[in-house]
Structure 1
């Protein structure tokens, strides 16, 4: 069995809603309620699809919608709920009165997700830099330097470490392997 189309596509208006269309939708929904979104545009005198009317009402025109910036508590709630629920935006919106699922989803993808990603990268960099041994840090620093006196210091450090092990193969002159670092 095939579901009937939501609306007759011919003559349907698309795009930005006009203030007049908004007034018609608000007047109809406040007077009669939203009993059937598919039939509502015809009775309200709108040349819109029922889905378009429903989304316009739920996301923009409802009287109890909260607009504006998110508070820190709201953002923390969104982050915490997203960790446990994932992308279930309507469930998350039920915990934030006055916020729509669409608005929360948009705020997540434009602000919170990017901020969390940047914070996790910064934390990884801090933790990885704390795990590097001091000698490895100095060698990494020296590796990137182009100054010849730094390379010479590296050679001297390697020479002194090899001599301190009383290695009989090492003589007073640096070996060819060490000279390759210069």
Structure 2
């Protein structure tokens, strides 16, 4: 019979625990989750450590080039996240979709761009026409980039696979 240990079950992770987990994984890697908590000095079960690492701590930030590519590919392909992720090496479909919904979509809305149609909202166009002096040239360049929608490719019957 296995003896139950005193785990911090159900308690929120502290910064110190996160730092211990990050430090241990950066030095030793994520080879054996069953031995990791004890070796890292954590009073957590292996499942908790694995989930904490994968869901919260492992996240890598997207660079500006990747953001631009996601925006352009979304304009071309729509919500086909697996095709978009296929153009970004090392990124999963779920990761790209999550980043779109939590960061890029909101960024476009704040800039006055409709994230679905990739066009400037009519209200924004009317207000910028009235007060064009208050808009900087860099933001107008950004907004003008998305004024014309990019149409998805239409394949003819000869290009379809059987």
TM-score range (shorter-chain normalised) is 0.3 to 0.5
- TM-score normalized by the length of structure 2: 0.43
- Higher alpha-carbon Rg: 1
- TM-score normalized by the length of structure 1: 0.39
Which of 1 and 2 has higher RCO (CA within 8 Å, sep 6+)? 2
